[in-house]
Amino acid sequence: MQNCVRSERELVLSKRWLLQEKLKRMSNKAIQLIECPRDAIQGIHDFIPTTKKVAYINQLIDSNFFYCIDFGSFVSPKAVAQMQDTEQVLAGIEKKNETKLLAIIVNERGAEIAKPMDKIDFLGYPFSISETFQRRNANSTIAESFQRVEQIKNITASGKQEIVIYISMAFGNPYRDPWNTDLVLKWIEELSELGIFRFSIADTTSEASPESIRRLLTLITNTFPALEFRVHLHSKEENALSKIEAAYDAGCRIFEGAIMGYGGCPFAQNDLVGNIPTEMLLRRFKNVENEHTTQALLEGFQEMILFKK
């Protein structure tokens, strides 16, 4: 009996030690931030001059704060008129450091356009696990979207860009479409079997609470330890920090945001919920001495969107 008690105690201590070591490794892993000006401005009705976009994106790169910039998208100008100059914006971007560039695509045509553009490091594809949103966002079913990912992977196989899959509506949806954590895991597993390594877990319509963020991200990272995960959360500003902390507690070390919390998907619902404010991420994860540059980025963004016609 005493041997059994001793064995159970040793097992508990062993598990506790392993958990402490895991937490130590998580804490030592560098935080990476992704700024999303594309998401911030895609819903703005008035067309922002290309030169303004280029100047702001170059300012973001010069700051050297960001692992990656989500700078544009290759989609139909009828769907997202603000992104019609993405190719021209890319031509003006100066890659002076290790900051990477990501562009959004929603079909094979977008992948074909982007493939020869060597400045682009990642192609992001929004894969919704809500049938309603998949139709609203990309005019396809989930099954058709999966087939598109296969084709996009084939198109880009001989190029330099890596695919990042955005699991849209990962925390639920406002359409009463089926959702559960098993559904999230199912699609991550099936997409990873196509050779996808990088995933962004997206709360497209701000369905998530801190508790559900912590629970889902912990489940995902434990189930797929060999894959890379980042979070793209939408939130009212007063709830944003608690959601950031929940994701961090669950092991997430790559966070997406937008200066001033601007943006949201124009196809999601009538009332857009903004992004996580990047300045909040900078203040949470970067040194306070960067406050001057943070303020300069805020001013740069305002200058871009408040241009005179």
Residue 58 lies in a domain: yes
Written as tens digits, the pLDDT of the chain (309 aa) is: 555 545 555 654 554 555 444 444 444 469 999 999 999 999 999 999 999 999 999 999 999 999 999 999 999 999 999 999 999 999 999 999 999 999 999 999 999 999 999 999 999 999 999 999 999 988 899 999 999 999 999 999 998 999 999 999 999 999 999 999 999 999 999 999 999 999 999 998 899 999 999 999 999 999 999 999 999 999 988 999 999 999 999 999 999 999 999 986 655 554 556 899 999 999 999 865 567 888 999 999 999 999 755
Give the per-residue pLDDT at 25.
46
Residue 18 lies in a domain: no
Question: Residue 136 is part of a domain; what is its CATH number?
Answer: 3.20.20.70
Tokens encoding 239: 């709830």
What contacts 235, CB < 8 A, 6 or more positions away? Answer: 203, 206, 243, 261, 273, 274, 275, 276
Give the per-residue pLDDT at 3.
54
Sign of CA dihedral 137, 85, 255, 120: positive
Cα distances (angstroms) measured from residue 11 to each of 3, 5, 18, 23, 145: 12, 10, 11, 18, 45
Give the per-residue pLDDT at 23.
46
Give the torsion through C-alpha atoms of 59, 64, 70, 74, to 10 deg. Answer: 60
CB neighbourhood size of 58 (10 A): 17
Residue 7 lies in a domain: no
Give the per-residue pLDDT at 274.
87
Q: How many CA atoms lie within 13 A of 95 on its CB side?
A: 16
Give the per-residue pLDDT at 29.
61
Residue 22 lies in a domain: no
Number of domains in the chain: 1
Residue 6 lies in a domain: no
Which has the closest alpha carbon to 252: 284, 289, 220?
A: 220
Residue 290 lies in a domain: yes
DSSP conformational letter for 105: E
Which range of residues forms the domain containing residue 169? 29-305
CB neighbourhood size of 224 (10 A): 16
The predicted model scores a pTM of 0.87
Residue 14 lies in a domain: no
Residue 3 lies in a domain: no
Give the per-residue pLDDT at 297.
95
In angstroms, the first-to-last Cα distance of the chain is 82
